[in-house]
Amino acid sequence: AQSVTQLDSQVPVFEEAPVELRCNYSSSVSVYLFWYVQYPNQGLQLLLKYLSGSTLVKSINGFEAEFNKSQTSFHLRKPSVHISDTAEYFCAVSDLKAAGNKLTFGGGTRVLVKP
């Protein structure tokens, strides 16, 4: 069964500083990869996804993630964070050989942006 590890449960960061959130998954078979963001008292929203093609994917609000097949990683980065980026971020994997487009989530990383 697929598993996803997010190595940092909390990441405090100052405004305008860079941030990196680490994500590793267990299986080396073909996968789709996702980052979701959850703002306080809201549902999850898709931030970005890797399906195929370029290993570097970007979101509209400045986040980017790079798929590394050999290291089974999909780390999320932003060069300069804003206060509004304070949220919890979840990495998720969909195993292409599993039925139903099932997502397996990591435990989440809480990002706290300080002024």
- Site residues, other proteins (CB under 8 A): 4, 6, 9, 32, 34, 36, 41-46, 49, 51, 90, 92, 94, 99-108
Q: Is there a contact between 99 and 1 (Cβ–Cβ < 8 Å)?
A: no
Complex with other proteins: residue 2 or 86, whichever CB lies closer: 2
3-state SS track over the chain: CCCEECCCCEEEEECCCCEEECCEECCCCCEEEEEEEECCCCCEEEEEEECCCCCEEECCCCCEEEEECCCCEEEEEECCCCHHHCEEEEEEEEECCCHHHCEEECCCEEEEEEC
Complex with other proteins: residue 17 or 51, whichever CB lies closer: 51
Complex with other proteins: residue 15 or 73, whichever CB lies closer: 73
Complex with other proteins: residue 76 or 92, whichever CB lies closer: 92
The CB-of-80 to other proteins minimum distance in angstroms stands at 27
Rg for the chain, CA atoms, rounded: 14
The CB-of-76 to other proteins minimum distance in angstroms stands at 14
The CB-of-20 to other proteins minimum distance in angstroms stands at 19
The CB-of-21 to other proteins minimum distance in angstroms stands at 13
